[in-house]
Chain A
Amino acid sequence: MRELQLVGIDKRFPPGVRACADVTLTIRAGEVLAVLGENGAGKTTLMRIAAGVTRPDRGSVVKDGSRLALGSPRDAISHGIGMVHQHFMLIPRLSVAENVVLGFEGGSRLLDRSTLRRSVESFSEQVGLRVDAGRLVEELAVGEQQRVEILRALYRGAEVLILDEPTAVLTPTETDGLFRVVREMASAGKAIVFISHKLHEISQVADRVVILRNGELVAERPPTTPLGELAALMVGRPVEVPTRSGTAASESVALELAGACSHGAPGLDSVSMVVGRGEIVGVAGVDGNGQVALEEVLAGIRQLSGGTLSLVGEAPERTSPTTMRRLGLVRIPSERHRDGIVAPASVWENLVMFDLHRLGFARGGALRVRAARRRAEQLVEEYGIRCGSIDQSVGELSGGNQQKVVIARELAADPSVVVAAQPTRGLDVGATAGVHRALLEHRERGRAVVLISADLDEICQLSDRVYVMYEGRVSGTAAPSERERIGRLMAGVAA
Chain B
Amino acid sequence: MSLGGGISVPGGDPPGEAVASPQASVAAAPEPARSLSALVRAALVERNGSRVVLSAIAAVVAFALGAVALVANGISPWAAYSALFSGSFGSAQSLASTAVQTAPLLVASLAVGISFRAGVFNIGAGGQLGVGALAAGIVGGYVHLGTGVELLAMAAASLVAGGLWAAVPGLLKAYTGANEVITTLMLTYVAADLIDYAVTGPAKASGAINQTPQLAGSALLPTLVGNTQLTAAILVGIALVPLVWLLLFRTTYGMRLRMVGLNPGTAAAAGFSVRRVGVSVLALSGALAGLAGMLEVSGVLGSVPQNMSLQVGYTAIVVALLGNNGPAGILLASVFLGALTAGSTTMQSAVGVSGPFVVFLEGIMIGSVVGMPAIARGLARRRRGEARAAGAR
Please list the residues of chain A having a beta carbon within 8 angstroms of any beta carbon in chain B.
11, 13-14, 17, 19, 37, 39-46, 48, 53-54, 86, 212, 299, 301, 320-322, 325, 331, 333, 335, 338-345, 349, 353-354, 356-357, 361-362, 365-367, 369
Contacts and interface: CB of A to CB of B under 8 A. Distances in A.
Given A343-B262, A349-B255, 13 more contacts: A17-B390, A39-B392, A44-B389, A44-B392, A321-B268, A339-B265, A342-B262, A345-B259, A356-B252, A361-B252, A366-B251, A367-B251, A369-B249
Contacts of B263: 338, 341-345
Interface residues of B, number: 29
A110 B383 CA distance: 37
The 4 closest A-B pairs by CB, nearest first: A322-B271, A44-B393, A13-B387, A19-B390
B251 A42 contact: no
A313 B391 CA distance: 44
B391 A321 contact: no
B106 to A, nearest CB: 24
Nearest to A320: B271
Given A45-B389, A48-B389, A342-B267, A367 B47 contact: no
Contacts of A365: 251-253
Nearest to B255: A367
A338 B266 contact: yes
Contacts of A19: 390, 393
B255 A14 contact: no
A366 to B, nearest CB: 6
Contacts of B267: 342, 353
Contacts of A366: 250-252
B258 interface: yes
Interface of B is mostly: helix
Given A301-B269, A321-B269, A353 B259 contact: yes
Interface string B268-279: 111100000000
A325 B268 CA distance: 13
Contacts of A331: 269
Contact of B393 (A46, A356, A369): A46
B324 to A, nearest CB: 12
A342 B252 contact: no
Most buried by B among A212, A340, A341, A342: A342
Contacts of B252: 356-357, 361-362, 365-367
B389 A342 contact: no
A13 B390 contact: yes
A321 B46 contact: no
18 contacts: A14-B383, A17-B387, A17-B390, A41-B393, A42-B390, A42-B393, A46-B393, A54-B389, A339-B265, A340-B269, A344-B263, A345-B263, A349-B255, A356-B252, A365-B253, A367-B250, A367-B252, A367-B255
B17 interface: no
Contacts of A361: 252
B254 interface: yes
B386 to A, nearest CB: 6
